[in-house]
Amino acid sequence: MSRSEDLFKAAQTHIPGGVNSPVRAFKGVGGTPVFFKKGQGAYLFDEDDNQYIDYVGSWGPMILGHAFPDVINAVRSVLDNGLGFGAPTEIETQMADKVCEMMPSIEMIRMVSSGTEATMSAIRLARGYTGRDKIVKFEGCYHGHSDSLLVKAGSGALTLGEPNSPGVPASIAEHTITLTFNDIDNVRQAFAEVGNEIACIIVEPVAGNMNCIPPKEGFLEGLREVCDEYGSVLIFDEVMTGFRVALGGAQAHYGIKPDLTTLGKVIGGGLPVGAFGGKREIMEHIAPLGPVYQAGTLSGNPLSMNAGLAMLNALTSTPGIHEGLAAKTEYLTEGLKAVATAKGIPFTTTAVGGMFGIFFTDQPEISSFAQTTACDTERFGQFFQGMLKEGVYLAPSAYETGFMSAAISEEDLDRTIEAAGRVFDTFAK
């Protein structure tokens, strides 16, 4: 038995499923989760001393690789001052200024401790600001696990939303309208019927929770137009895309200005952080300036702020970092596709900046949730397990995006592509 297997067995005694977040349990790919003890640059090291090239990056924040020296030193530099005061600190203002400078649509920002809190709070703010209850989200997008967002569509686009987890009251779910990502006609139709009751649209500008699905041309523009027409708030959930697909996030990459933006992961440099921000006029409705309540004991925690600010400073002071990430991502996806094609494996990829998707399908392009769910997830599981044995750590689910880091070298990419070739060879057997 490996040490990971031992540890997983022990973990299950007191931790439900042995994990503190469900996707870690490997249910989507089979096998036993790997227990890690260390991350350094491009690599992860497990409890059995195996080394992996990491394409998960703690689900996004490790854009510069693990244990990036500036980030680690920033945390170290404040450790001895104490771990938190629940009172204002100067670093919070520096962080707020930095984010507002990097994402000009954000004129005011509030720090929270997770992406879930960020989206939950942004939705409350949008509802408080507009005085409306209904919200729109898209099937396949994930915005954390707050009650209003753990909702699936009813039988038709405009039927009442239904809880997609026990514990979410139907009376909350019914206010959530779930529409089709990349289908602007579907959105226009919904707004034509109940637009004046819709507080906000929340969207992942590049969907990263149904594998990686970029927006079709005109989709994000259409959302902007619809929100302007009906006085609804447009929320870009940039928890994954923020500072990753471009320095200014997906909103800079596609040139669309949302009213509110939610951020997470990345701005903590790996420590627990989230944030929401946007137009001053809307943000002024948040307590203590305005009547919409939102709070947090750990919000703006000095360790997280120092780590996150060091991360953002490193990103802004490294010219061409996002071009480099995009080039590496393209090299990887093109390389994987070439090997798959040569071996007769139906395979499609997507890529935006440092995010990528791999799909076992004969469909040449993937732009919808329906297409992603029609892919061969069993084959993905086989691929995942094969790559794991080859020392490559991919997200343990066919519905998660891949994450590139600046620490991954060309040699790592070549090793990954060669490993994929060997794994593809096992498919026919």
Q: Which residues are catalytic?
A: 142, 237, 265
Q: Which is nearer to ligand PLP, 210 or 413 (CB)?
A: 210
User: Which CB, 183 or 237, lies closer to ligand PLP?
Assistant: 237
- What's the min distance (Å) between Cβ of 241 and ligand PLP? 8
Q: Which is nearer to ligand PLP, 127 or 143 (CB)?
A: 143
Nearest to 101 by CA among 254, 253, 312, 283: 312
105 binds ligand PLP (CB under 6 A): no
Q: Is 144 in the site for ligand PLP (CB under 6 A)?
A: yes
Residue with tokens 């469900």: 22
Range 39-98, binding ligand PLP (CB under 6 A):
59
Which residue in 65, 115, 205, 335 binds ligand PLP (CB under 6 A)?
Answer: 115
Q: How many angstroms separate the CA atoms of 62 and 36, rounded?
A: 15
H-helix or E-strand spanning residue 189: helix 184-194
What DSSP line would sit under 211-253, residue for residue? S-BPPPTTHHHHHHHHHHHHTPEEEEE-TTTTTTTSTTHHHHH
Work out how close the CB of 422 gets to ligand PLP at its nearest, in angstroms, rounded to a whole number: 31
Which is closer to ligand PLP, CB of 59 or CB of 138?
59
Largest CA distance in the chain: 65
Burial 174-196 (b: 16+ CB within 10 A, else e): bbbbbbbbbbbeebeebbeeebe
Q: Which is nearer to ligand PLP, 204 or 412 (CB)?
A: 204
Residue with smaller CB distance to ligand PLP, 52 or 399: 399
Among 4, 105, 116, 232, binds ligand PLP (CB under 6 A): 116
Query: 353 in the Ramachandran plot: left (φ > 0), alpha (ψ -120 to 50) or beta?
Result: left
Burial of 380 by CB count in 10 Å (0-12 exposed, 13-18 middle, 19+ buried)?
buried
164: Cα separation from own chain's centroid: 20
In eight-state DSSP terms, residue 295 is -
With CB under 6 A as the contact rule, the residue among 54, 139, 204, 259 that binds ligand PLP is 204
> What is the nearest approach in angstroms of ligand PLP to the Cβ of residue 424?
29
User: Do you find a cis peptide bond into 88, omega within 30 degrees of 0?
Assistant: no
Residue nearest ligand PLP, CB atom distance: 115
Sign of the alpha-carbon dihedral angle for 90, 92, 95, 100: negative
Instruction: Write out the binding residues for ligand PLP, residues 245-264 only, by CB under 6 A.
Output: 264
Please give the helix or strand (H or E) that residue 355 lies within, else none. Answer: strand 355-359
CB of 4 to ligand PLP, least distance (A): 23
What character string, x for contact with ligand PLP (CB under 6 A) and - otherwise, covers 306-335? Answer: ------------------------------
The nearest distance, CB 207 to ligand PLP, in angstroms, is: 8
One character per residue 267-306, x = contact with ligand PLP (rule: CB under 6 A): -------x--------------------------------
Give residues in contact with ligand PLP (CB under 6 A). Answer: 59, 114-116, 119, 142-144, 204, 208-209, 237, 239-240, 264, 274
